[in-house]
Chains A and B, each alone.
Chain A
Amino acid sequence: MKKKIMDLIIYTLLFIGAIIMCFPFYYMVVTSLKESAYIFTVPPQMIPKPATFENYKTVWVEADFKLYFLNSLKITLPAVLLNVFLSSLTAYGFARFKFPGKELWFSVLIATLAVPGLLLIIPQFDMIRKVPFFMDNPLTIVLTSGIGGIAFNAFFLRGFFESIPRELEEAAELDGCGIFKTYWHIAMPLARPALATLVIMSFLGVWDDYFWPSLILRDKRDWTLPIGILGFRAQHGVQWHLLFAGTIIAILPVLIIYFMFQKYFVKAVAEGGLKI
């Protein structure tokens, strides 16, 4: 009996907590379905009446969110591929080969992990603006986002490659498989869980990045979703119903990926967190 009451109390607490954590999202969805006359009513409507999808259509077509969405996609996908490919090459090199200065290089890589990205942004911007080709060019974001975080990723993946038994790769090499082929056809498929985690982390990082792209992509036609959201807010003030239709479009891909791969997520955070 006592245990049952205890369980009930815990469930109640967990539910209240879950409501606090999720209510802002619910309210965002509700607001995005309201007509403009209903966004500042007191008491606020908790269920939109009348509910309308018109806001989504408006931001998608008239407010250029379709363009921002495609821009975000065009930058994020190649950047993530580049990032994961480069990180895996680096990690594999450190995990499987001996070359002069190896451990020294690796410790240099690790030493800068704690340096805040903010420290780098002024000199990085100064480097980019000296080459006109790189300013206002989405390719710049693909390349720079693609090589960001290599230090952490290489650190993360090296351990994983080292935990794969060597015999498979050695057997492949004895069969005449070249070094690069061994990496690509034997080691990479075995590292799939770790690579999946990396893809997700990298995707979130690039998709949500605001600071850096906003400095480089000044032309409205190149804007990504985060820049578009703040740009829309600057222009249209507090048209919250439209703004939130835009933000929901922006977080939808992230949510889908999160719910699909949440197992990888939890593992990555819990293990990565405790290992560092």
Chain B
Amino acid sequence: MKREVRRKWAGFLFVLPGLLSYLIWTLYPIIKSFLMSLYKWNINPRIPNEFVGLSNYVKLFHDDKFYTALINTLKYVIVTVPGQMIIGLLIAVLLTRGLKGQTFFRLLYYLPVITSWVVVSVLFQYLFATRGGLVNYLLKDLLHLINRDIRWLAQENTAMIPIYVLGIWKGIGWSMLIFLAGLQGIPKQLYEAARIDGANGWMLLRKITIPMLRPVIAFQTVMLTIGGFNVFLSVYVITGGGPRNSTQVLSSYMFKEAFDYFHFGYGAAIAVIFFLIVFTIAQIQRKLFKREIY
């Protein structure tokens, strides 16, 4: 009996430091976010903040820059999520054919995933530089597809492209790795049986591989969508949201309002709406993929 009581306390003591720091550093800030969005926050911490009700939200719904940021974020998700998954699946399928050097290729394809966002963003800024940038050199001087250098980052209609390309390039490896694990779970007999029935490679992919991978595809869609909504550093480093705020995404716009202008209440309102959108989309996706096992 005494041992039971002691173990109860011991368990509590084990989880206490972790739980306590979690309450202070995660749970409390979540609640605080909602509260802050109802105030006009003062830069000077000593001056009391002014309660303004929902007026931050009213302002938000009339803010063109917010809509631009929202649309850019959605576009980023729509372009990069399928982009990463299609290429990731393709590579995974090629890699599972039992050729030599699988580990080596896997290692290389995964390299961008582990490299810091700051570093690869700076790198892509250089690759897409107008004069002397590698991409323009490739398109103009090597392939002769264009006859003048494209000012990728200076024009509103092209500035998102390097950000899309970076997002896909950096995420392919992760998608590939998850698909590889999924592919290993498909029984080989399925393929053998289908081959005997005369199915070709394309049919195998469509009728066996993709249906069998449904849970993996569902999982990746949800995870990559959440990740895509969080796009921040690539925009912040490569374009800084410009030219003329045309590449601003939700997180970079929030950062700008909160930490460039110190509009903490307004920034918190953006964060709350941002959270609600991600949460809703994740829930819808979960419903759509309900049949799949997580």
Contact = CB atoms under 8 A, between A and B. Distances in A.
A134 to B, nearest CB: 12
A17 B45 CA distance: 53
Interface of B: 6-15, 17-19, 21-22, 25-30, 32-33, 36, 41, 45, 91, 94-95, 97, 99, 105-112, 114-120, 122-124, 126-127, 129, 131-132, 134, 137, 141, 169, 172-174, 177-178, 180-182, 216, 219, 223, 226, 229-230, 232-233, 237, 251, 254-255, 258-259, 264, 267-268, 271-272, 274-275, 278-279, 282, 294
B95 to A, nearest CB: 7
Contacts of B232: 118, 211
Interface of A: 7, 10-11, 13-14, 17-18, 20-22, 24-25, 27-28, 31, 39-44, 86-87, 89-90, 92-94, 96-100, 102, 105, 108-109, 112, 114-127, 129-130, 144, 147-148, 150-151, 154, 179-180, 183, 204, 207-208, 210-211, 215, 226, 229-230, 233, 238, 240, 243-244, 247, 250-251, 254-255, 258-259, 262, 265-266, 269-271, 273-274, 276
Contacts of A40: 129, 131-132
12 contacts: A17-B109, A21-B111, A24-B124, A90-B17, A90-B19, A122-B254, A124-B29, A129-B45, A154-B18, A179-B10, A250-B118, A276-B219
Contacts of B141: 42-43
B149 to A, nearest CB: 10
Given A99-B12, A120-B33, A122-B264, 13 more contacts: A25-B115, A43-B141, A44-B137, A93-B13, A93-B15, A99-B8, A116-B275, A118-B271, A119-B271, A120-B30, A179-B10, A244-B123, A262-B110
10 smallest CB-CB distances across A and B, nearest first, come from A97-B11, A93-B14, A90-B18, A40-B132, A93-B15, A270-B181, A208-B116, A123-B32, A147-B21, A123-B29
Contact of A251 (B32, B41, B116): B116
A112 B118 contact: no
A21 B109 contact: yes
A233 B279 CA distance: 36
Given A10-B97, A270-B180, A250 B275 contact: no
A118 B14 contact: no
B15 A105 contact: yes
B99 A97 contact: no
Contacts of A89: 14-15, 17-18
A243 B118 CA distance: 12
B254 to A, nearest CB: 7
B25 A274 contact: no
A97 B10 contact: yes
Contacts of B32: 123, 126-127
Contacts of A240: 126
Contacts of B99: 7, 10-11, 14
A222 to B, nearest CB: 17
Contacts of A244: 123, 126
Given A44-B134, A270-B177, A123 B117 contact: no
Contacts of B45: 126, 129-130
A156 to B, nearest CB: 13
A27 B223 CA distance: 31
Nearest to A7: B99
Contacts of A266: 106, 110, 177
A42 B137 contact: yes
A90 B119 contact: no
B232 to A, nearest CB: 7
B57 to A, nearest CB: 15
Nearest to A22: B108
B251 A118 contact: yes
Given A11-B99, A86-B18, A98-B8, A127 B124 contact: no
B282 A123 contact: no
B210 to A, nearest CB: 17
A163 to B, nearest CB: 18
A147 B22 contact: yes
Nearest to B178: A273
Contacts of B95: 14
Given A118-B254, A118-B271, A147-B25, A96 B11 contact: yes
Contact of A42 (B109, B132, B219): B132
Contacts of B181: 270-271, 273-274
Contact of B230 (A92, A116, A122, A179): A116
Contacts of B274: 116, 118-119
Given A127-B29, A270-B180, A119 B119 contact: no
A105 B115 CA distance: 35
